[in-house]
Chains A and B, each alone.
Chain A
Amino acid sequence: MESLFAIAIGILTAAAVYMFLARDLPRVLIGFIMLGTAVNMLILAAGRIGSIVPALVAGNESALTAAAANPLPQALILTAIVIGFGLAAFALMLIVKSQRILGTVMPEEMQEAEGDVAPQALPAPAPARRKDAA
């Protein structure tokens, strides 16, 4: 069971990374959200899984039974989900702004970097990149 979970998280991570490397920002954002989800799953798994019983102290007891799920990761994940949501909302705003003002959501089209500093010194890598951008 746990091993299956680990594999699923691996696939999720791989997909998230792939999306993260996309050329357009909306896909990068999707990758970002998925990566956050993967980390949340990871926290859950790190606290060990198995039990279906929620972490509630039963009415007639004073402490949590051993059968209940681990409460700490859940608390951490809740924190992480909320923060992740905040970041995602902000990122979306950045993308909307970039579309409105620059008319593009492709980072490569807004790029200005070391190239204009030492144009004579740019060796092969930089032109190659420009080529596949075209």
Chain B
Amino acid sequence: MEPTTLVLLPAIPEIFLACAAMALLMIGVFIGDKSLRLVSWLAVGSFVVTAVLLYAFTGWGGRELAFDGLFVADPFALFAKLFILLGSAVAIILSMDYLERENTARFEYPVLIVLATVGMMMMVSANSLISLYVGLELQSLALYVVAAIRRDTIRSTEAGLKYFVLGALSSGMLLYGSSMIYGFTGSIDFAVLAERVQGEASVGVIVGIVFLAAGLAFKVSAVPFHMWTPDVYEGAPTPVTALFATAPKFAAIALFCRVMMEPFGGIADQWQQIVVLISIGSMILGALAAINQTNIKRLMAYSSIGHMGYALIGLAAGSEIGVRGVLIYMAIYIVMNVGTFAIILCMRQQGRMVENISDLAGLSKTHPMMAVALTIFMFSMAGIPPLAGFFSKLYVFLAAIEAQLYTLAVIGVVSSVVGAFYYLRIVKLMYFDEPVETLDRPIGREMGAVIAVSGLFTLLFFVWPAPILNAAAQAAASLFAG
């Protein structure tokens, strides 16, 4: 560790976003709740500026440290951050109509999402266990508030409460694990840990890693720390659910990858089993429990549990190809989910939100374009080629086979088949069943745009996949270069 002057340059995008959040807060306080739309669009604008800054200060090239090595800016972080920004931006765009219509227009909402995004960006750039914890808490606290922001429904309140209690506990576990690792190794910095944790690791370090993994598994909602997911997804307001399902998931998975690969990459063979178990549990539960759901948000909860299981296959492989698979998986996952949630947000009958899967019956007759889009998303989530979701599965399975994790690959395939059942059931419902009550039209302009763009991406990913694949490959490589 060389003594250096404080380098801040690589963290400029984060600093900018944090300042932007403060400015937005001022605007909100000054104008009041009327400013929701203004603040929302400004927040989206600040995300765009942040993305540009990210490109300007990191690029796909090297790896730079800031804050005395606590903060790392590398292509891996860049890749994750770009998709986090995308997810957060879309979550804000999707929420505006909803908040106004449901009488919950609160300027705090976009500001909190911006703050949560700062936390997520810190998470993926964390280079020490405590920075990781701080970033995680930053993100979580903002999300706890967002989850509880609707005060007039029992469901929302209960969801917020559950999310908070279980989330705080998991953060505690993470901190506990960090202190164990510190106790056994005398360090919390990833670079030092990577030197000291080699060969046959001591039991304490393994236990510490288990606790870290438990805390992180909670954030990615992987089995056995998934329990909050269905209740919170269902109870929280739909735009909030859309947010939960996208950006924070990417941040947590990216963090998971960095923690496992950078400081503990040397003992990958010893933690591999943990990740394999988490992955298998998530895939099986996600596929099984989704089958008898009637509420589409609950279904999406189980679906995301399952998807996290697939993404973790790549991590379990513990290789560069595996991490590349994870990144591709998450990128595609975010786009598919954004589109699906936009459609769920369009599910209204006579001005009232509906959430039952059966409300989609006969959608192909009443909203043909929406039905086509949802069909694309469902087929893609089921992993049917040539849609994007197929490629995401392909890459993690390839990584698993290469790492000789055959059991994992086979369980993945089997649970995909079971999982396909409930995605296809929705398609069957839309095309083959008769509509009972039609959904309202027209859908909002922003919704239409989000659905169209994400649908086209999912459909046409295979035509020109190189940009995302190359970027993911470079990002994964950077995690192994350092």
A113 within 8 A of B: yes
Chain A residues with Cβ below 8 Å from B41 are none
Distance, CA A83 to CA B145, complexed state (A)? 15
**Interchain nearest-CB distance for A33 vs B (Å):** 10
Q: Say whether B292 contacts A118, CB under 8 Å.
A: yes
B421 within 8 A of A: no
B168 within 8 A of A: yes
A73 within 8 A of B: yes
Distance, CA A7 to CA B231, complexed state (A)? 37
**Interchain nearest-CB distance for A88 vs B (Å):** 9
In chain B, what residue has the closest Cβ to A112? B155
Q: Say whether B183 contacts A98, CB under 8 Å.
A: no
Given A39-B176, A42-B176, A117-B292, does the pair A102, B141 have CB atoms closer than 8 Å? no
Q: Say whether A102 contacts B157, CB under 8 Å.
A: yes
Q: Say whether B137 contacts A83, CB under 8 Å.
A: yes
Residues of chain B in range 280-321 having any CB-CB distance to chain A below 8 Å: 292-295, 298
Q: Say whether B155 contacts A46, CB under 8 Å.
A: no
B84 within 8 A of A: no
B358 within 8 A of A: no
Distance, CA A50 to CA B130, complexed state (A)? 24
Number of residues of chain B lying within 8 A (CB) of chain A = 37
A54-74 near B? 1/0 per residue, CB < 8 Å: 000000000000000000110
Main secondary structure of the interface of A (DSSP, over half): helix
Distance, CA A101 to CA B150, complexed state (A)? 11
**Interchain nearest-CB distance for B384 vs A (Å):** 27
Contact of A45 among B133, B183, B188, B230 (CB under 8 A): B183
Distance, CA A72 to CA B129, complexed state (A)? 13
Distance, CA A86 to CA B154, complexed state (A)? 25
Residues of chain B in range 175-203 having any CB-CB distance to chain A below 8 Å: 175-176, 179-180, 182-183, 188
Residues of chain B in range 221-267 having any CB-CB distance to chain A below 8 Å: 230-231, 235
A116-131 near B? 1/0 per residue, CB < 8 Å: 0110010000000000
Distance, CA A76 to CA B134, complexed state (A)? 10
Given A86-B141, A94-B164, does the pair A79, B295 have CB atoms closer than 8 Å? no
Q: Say whether B175 contacts A46, CB under 8 Å.
A: no
Chain B residues with Cβ below 8 Å from A43 are 175, 179, 182
Contact of A32 among B160, B168, B179 (CB under 8 A): B168
Given A32-B168, A76-B130, does the pair A46, B180 have CB atoms closer than 8 Å? yes
Given A39-B179, A47-B182, A79-B134, does the pair A110, B172 have CB atoms closer than 8 Å? no
Chain A residues with Cβ below 8 Å from B183 are 42, 45-47
In chain A, what residue has the closest Cβ to B155? A112
Q: How large is the interface on A (under 10, 10 to 19, 20 to 34, 35 or more residues)?
A: 35 or more
Distance, CA A28 to CA B151, complexed state (A)? 21
Q: Say whether A39 contacts B175, CB under 8 Å.
A: yes
Distance, CA A97 to CA B168, complexed state (A)? 18
Chain B residues with Cβ below 8 Å from A98 are 157, 161
Q: Say whether A91 contacts B168, CB under 8 Å.
A: yes
Q: Say whether B179 contacts A90, CB under 8 Å.
A: no
A11 within 8 A of B: no
A111 within 8 A of B: yes
Scoring A28, A32, A45, A46 by chain B CB atoms within 10 A of each residue's CB, the highest score goes to A46
Q: Say whether B161 contacts A107, CB under 8 Å.
A: yes
Given A47-B182, A76-B130, does the pair A102, B154 have CB atoms closer than 8 Å? yes
Given A86-B141, A117-B293, does the pair A112, B168 have CB atoms closer than 8 Å? no
Chain B residues with Cβ below 8 Å from A39 are 172, 175-176, 179
Identify the B interface with A (CB < 8 A).
Answer: 130, 133-134, 137, 141, 144-145, 148, 151-152, 154-155, 157-158, 160-162, 164-165, 168-169, 172, 175-176, 179-180, 182-183, 188, 230-231, 235, 292-295, 298
The 8 closest A-B pairs by CB, nearest first: A46-B183, A43-B179, A110-B158, A46-B179, A42-B179, A83-B137, A46-B182, A110-B154
24 A-B pairs, CB-CB below 8 angstroms?
Answer: A20-B169, A25-B161, A32-B169, A35-B169, A35-B172, A42-B179, A42-B183, A43-B179, A46-B180, A47-B183, A72-B188, A79-B130, A79-B134, A83-B137, A90-B141, A90-B164, A91-B165, A101-B151, A101-B152, A110-B154, A112-B154, A112-B158, A113-B230, A118-B292
